Amino acid sequence: MPQVTLSVNGKSHTVDIEGRTLLVELLREKLRLTGTHVGCDTSQCGACVVHIDGESVKSCTTLAAMCEGASVTTIEGLAKADGTLHPMQEAFREYHALQCGFCTPGMVMSAVDLVQKHPEGLSELEIREGLEGNLCRCTGYHNIVKAIAAAAEVMHGKRETIAAAAQ
Amino acid sequence: MNAILPFEGIGASVKRKEDLRFLSGRGQYVDDINRPGQVYAWILRSQYAHARIVSIDTTAAAAMPGVIAVFTSADMAGIGGIPCGWQIHNKDGTPMAEPKHPVLAEGKLRHVGDPVAVVIAETRSQARDAGEAIALEVEALPAVTGTTEALAAGAPRVHDDIAGNLCYDWHIGDKSMTDAAFARAEHRVAFETTNNRLIANAMEPRSAVGDYDTTTGEHTLFTTSQNPHVIRLLMGAFVLNIPESKLRVVAPDVGGGFGSKIYHYAEEAIVTWAAAKLGRPVKWTADRTESFMSDAHGRDHVTRAELALDKEGTFLGLRVHTQANMGAYLSTFAPCVPTYLYATLLAGVYSTPAIYAEVKAVFTHTVPVDAYRGAGRPEATYLLERLVDVAAKQCGFDRIELRRRNFIATDAFPYQTPVALEYDSGDYFSTLNQALETSGWAGFEARRAEAAKRGKLRGIGISTYLEACGIAPSAVVGSLGARAGLYEVGTIRVHPTGSITVLTGAHSHGQGHETTFAQLVCDKLGVPVAQVDIVHGDTGKVPFGMGTYGSRSLAVGGSAMEKAMDKIIAKGKRIAAHLMEAAVEDIEFDRGTFRVAGTDKTKVLAEISLAAYVPHNYPIDEIEPGLEETAFYDPKNFTYPGGCHIAEVEIEKETGKVSLINFTAVDDVGRVINPMIVEGQVQGGVAQGVGQALMENCVYDAAGQLISASMMDYAMPRADDLAPVSVATHVTLCTHNPLGVKGCGEVGAIGSPPAVINAVVDALRDYGVTHVEMPATAPKIWSIIHGSTL
């Protein structure tokens, strides 16, 4: 059986896989990292988004075999080791940007990458367009958009804290 | 010194307790649960809308690597069909047609997605591989998917013994009084519409894990359900014949429901049964395509309606004829949706004195249809609010003034409608006025003119709506055909040192119950939200429950908690009286403190609970130790949230694309416990309503294939399809539950579709259109503007 060696949330793993094993299957079923979700089968919903070498990727359409040597970050690895939330996670809570929580891990991982790629800042429309690859059925997105705008201010050092951005 | 704590009681926007685990990837959804020795089920489903099974050969599949078993209906002899929970009676008093709904198809396939066989294998992919090796030979038969077509003479029969595909022919209201109203009317306005079929698409696909303990004979089912006790009752009693004491149903974190996870589904019975048969835990998780063809669909009504008005515009009578698509089998609550959740709402916010409605429910070769966010009430609201706009235009009335003229007066409550319901409270004038002001209705023409300069057609639309939720009084629904009670259960467990666990029969799948319910307890018993834990979704822990749907959790489940807290306070007063050597009648209680009236002698709740669990100094001859109380609350009436929604849209002439520009919602949801959560519920509901109005549509082709069976084909709103939604509330209290709450889960999806379509029609006012069917997609609008079809 083929193997793949990759780093997930800073920890190295060597895992037996099938040629067809998807990254999301490796994460959920082999490593039991069940924070990454599967919401569809056509790469539309984005519940499975993780970062590979810092880039957001849909893990449901990534073969595990393609991840040899890669560094993968999942929602479980986003907060600091001491449990301090990433500003994006904190902003989602502050702005009530989640309800059932199922799309949330992918939404947060996409949002972090979106903000990182735009140090110049993002308009509301740019945030909305930047979320094209993520579906949420609960919130109507409005609070997600507000949370991302607030997190962007903190991530780019324009505000100290999410609470300050919320003022 | 007491620290100054932030206010966390009723009315505070407390941040949600559940968020931390969801944001950290530590939620526990069903597919996240793995049991030792677990195997996987894959279900072979019909690719035909209608076919006779000639043969099923599972030999090759059974020989595939990792395969443990392959089952068809022949292996499940003795297993009952999936029951329906509501019986409707025809006009002539006879019961509705109720065909058997087998767990796996028996002899015939009746819709694309109908389960035929199940493969159990060591891994998910082995099960799928083997499933593809099952040889299913069928004789394809002609199918019918359209509601009206299924009623036509000569239509293919869905069930051989049900003539004309008619499930029931039901009516409500006074026909002769309504006919008389039409006879004397100055204006008669006719309107026809189809309420488009939708698919709920909760982001978490359905999943079920069955487990069986051979030593105790106990079955456990983990399932994506909005009501685990109801599943235990239906599956245990009607399908698998397992007593409640041996069946535990757990609905852990559930990723959205919107109705689609109320019902008892075949897969729940399959994994529970197979786990016992094989002695291995069995997991099944739908892929999204399976969800599209096996989750209950919503809406799908075809309606003709007529409104009678006098010269001044007063509504005199309403006649409605609706055909409702049930799909191939009756889902759990399907029959009540187009009857008691639809036709009873046809008075809306208006004092129409005479209403008569007929509803025919029909079987078709499609996925079963059941309640989807709002369930019947969006269909009624859409019909009424479009009809009022059509009437205003046809008869030359202002659409706002016509509504005002016919509103139920604010001092007319309780108000008995001609279609069974008695509204307890409401103030439709205030919600209307507030929404008109917030939306800047008066200044709209300037915005229209500005848009025109940019080459855009701008329109504004309004809907003044009402719904009935907080379901429901058990005796009332029982007399109407419900095969269950609709009370709710709450247990308050005060621990020895004063922290609290609440057990509730309501189920949270996004609503934030862990926070809102904790606020109720905090407000009444004075315990900080952080020390109140809410337990739900497990029949092994919660005494009983009817679950979450119909915006009932707070109105019914919250009221059960209130009742249980009253019992806690009553017992606490007796303990406090003993400890403080006072008469029970002299003990006052306020937010956690028992006081001897008129003195400074007090005991806090934690002192009382400690005494209750360590009863050294305790009235042990009079009351039992411990401080835990359970209450069942059966509501006295439905609750009646209502309000006003206003949508503003712009249409791009070149493409016909409709863009939502802004949306104003002013809702009366009764007392608001957590404004942040209420706002989120309304925003989410509006998003689904806007989705129905502009984008979403479930489409079958002529052969009965489900064309919109993926998220690439079924257009759910994305972030850039929506606009900011302004949410406000105007409160009138519910008069018959202890909290004064009405419910906020569905208002967004109920009020919004007609507001959006009214705006679209308004934008197209120069093109001679009186109506645009949902969804108002770009090709449809382009054809109207350009006077031809694409």
What is the C-alpha separation between B615 and B272, in angstroms, rounded? 44
CATH domain B19-26+487-633 topology = Aldehyde Oxidoreductase; domain 4 (3.30.365)
Which residues, in sequence order, are CB contacts of B635 under 8 Å at separation 6+? B470, B471, B472, B473, B486, B487, B555, B556, B559, B736, B737
Structure confidence at residue B789 as a pLDDT band (50, 70, 90): low
Which residues from B are below 8 Å from A74, CB to CB? 25
**Taking CB atoms and an 8 Å limit, are B676 and A37 in contact across chains?**
no
B66–A contact, CB cutoff 8 A: no
Considering only CA atoms, which of B652, B650, B679, B674 is closest in space to residue B664?
B679
Place of tokens 């008869």: B395
What is the C-alpha separation between B751 and B466, in angstroms, rounded? 8
pLDDT in tens, B128-147: 999 999 999 999 999 999 99
**Taking CB atoms and an 8 Å limit, are B719 and A100 in contact across chains?**
no
Cα angle value A135/A137/A140 (rounded, 5°): 90
Which residues from B are below 8 Å from A142, CB to CB? 683, 722, 724-725
Q: Per-residue b/e over B166-178, b at no fewer than 16 CB within 10 Å?
A: bbbbbbbbbeeeb
Torsion of CA A145, B757, B647, B464, to 10 degrees: -120
Which residues, in sequence order, are CB contacts of A165 under 8 Å at separation 6+? A91, A150, A151, A153, A154, A158, A159
Torsion of CA B429, B432, B435, B437, to 10 degrees: -70
pLDDT in tens, A80-122: 999 999 999 999 999 999 999 999 999 999 999 999 999 999 9
pLDDT in tens, B36-50: 999 999 999 999 999
Fold match between domain B19-26+487-633 and domain B429-467+639-790: yes
Put residue B126 in one of left, alpha, beta given phi > 0 → left and psi -120 to 50 → alpha.
alpha
pLDDT in tens, B252-275: 999 999 999 999 999 999 999 999
State the smallest CA–CA distance between residue B203 and chain A in angstroms.
6
- Provide the sign of the torsion angle of the four alpha carbons B91, B146, B165, B335, taken in this order: negative
Q: A–B: how many Cβ contacts below 8 A?
A: 174
Instruction: Retrieve residue A18's tokens.
Output: 């099938």
What burial class does residue B200 get, using C-beta atoms within 10 Å of its C-beta: 0-12 exposed, 13-18 middle, 19+ buried? Answer: buried
**Taking CB atoms and an 8 Å limit, are B680 and A125 in contact across chains?**
no
Cα angle value B61/B62/B63 (rounded, 5°): 90
pLDDT in tens, B674-709: 999 999 999 999 999 999 999 999 999 999 999 999
pLDDT in tens, B329-372: 999 999 999 999 999 999 999 999 999 999 999 999 999 999 99
> What is the mean predicted confidence (pLDDT) over B451-461?
97
Structure confidence at residue B102 as a pLDDT band (50, 70, 90): very high
What is the C-alpha separation between B640 and B638, in angstroms, rounded? 7
Predicted local confidence at residue A117, as pLDDT: 97
| Pairing assessment for the beta strands B51-57 and B108-109 based on DSSP bridges | antiparallel
Place of tokens 């509730």: B504
**Taking CB atoms and an 8 Å limit, are B288 and A45 in contact across chains?**
yes
Beta bridge partners of B650: B458, B659
pLDDT over threshold 70, residue A69? yes
Residue of B nearest to A136 (CA): B203
- Domains of chain A in start order, with CATH, are 3-77 (3.10.20.30), 87-166 (1.10.150.120)
A126 close to B498: Cβ distance less than 8 angstroms: no
Q: What is the 3-state secondary structure (H, E, C) of B717-729?
A: CCHHHCCCEEEEE
pLDDT over threshold 50, residue B1? no
Predicted local confidence at residue B790, as pLDDT: 52
What burial class does residue A45 get, using C-beta atoms within 10 Å of its C-beta: 0-12 exposed, 13-18 middle, 19+ buried? Answer: buried
pLDDT in tens, B752-763: 999 999 999 999
Q: What is the 3-state secondary structure (H, E, C) of chain A?
A: CCEEEEEECCEEEEEECCCCCEHHHHHHHHCCCCCCCCCCCCCCCCCCEEEECCEEEEHHHCEHHHHCCCEEECHHHCCCCCCCCCHHHHHHHHCCCCCCCCCHHHHHHHHHHHHHCCCCCCCHHHHHHHCCCCCCCCCCCHHHHHHHHHHHHHHCCCCCCHHHHHC
Length, in residues, of chain B:
790
Instruction: Retrieve residue B781's tokens.
Output: 């609008």
Residue of A nearest to B681 (CA): A139
What is the C-alpha separation between A137 and B549, in angstroms, rounded? 16
pLDDT over threshold 90, residue B723? yes
pLDDT over threshold 90, residue B788? no
The average confidence (pLDDT) of chain B is 97
**Taking CB atoms and an 8 Å limit, are A35 and B25 in contact across chains?**
yes
pLDDT over threshold 60, residue B427? yes
**Taking CB atoms and an 8 Å limit, are A41 and B253 in contact across chains?**
no
**Taking CB atoms and an 8 Å limit, are B202 and A94 in contact across chains?**
no
CATH of B429-467+639-790, one of 3.40.30.10, 3.40.309.10, 3.40.50.620, 3.30.365.10: 3.30.365.10
Q: pTM for this one? A: 0.97
Instruction: Retrieve residue B277's tokens.
Output: 């048969």
State the smallest CA–CA distance between residue A117 and chain B in angstroms.
19
- For chain B, the domains span 19-26+487-633, 429-467+639-790
pLDDT over threshold 60, residue B153? yes
**Taking CB atoms and an 8 Å limit, are B34 and A32 in contact across chains?**
yes
Could you tell me the CA-to-CA distances from B714 to B79, B148, B545, B760, B765 in Å, in that order?
A: 35, 23, 34, 21, 29
Q: How remote is the C-alpha of B520 from its chain's centroid?
A: 23
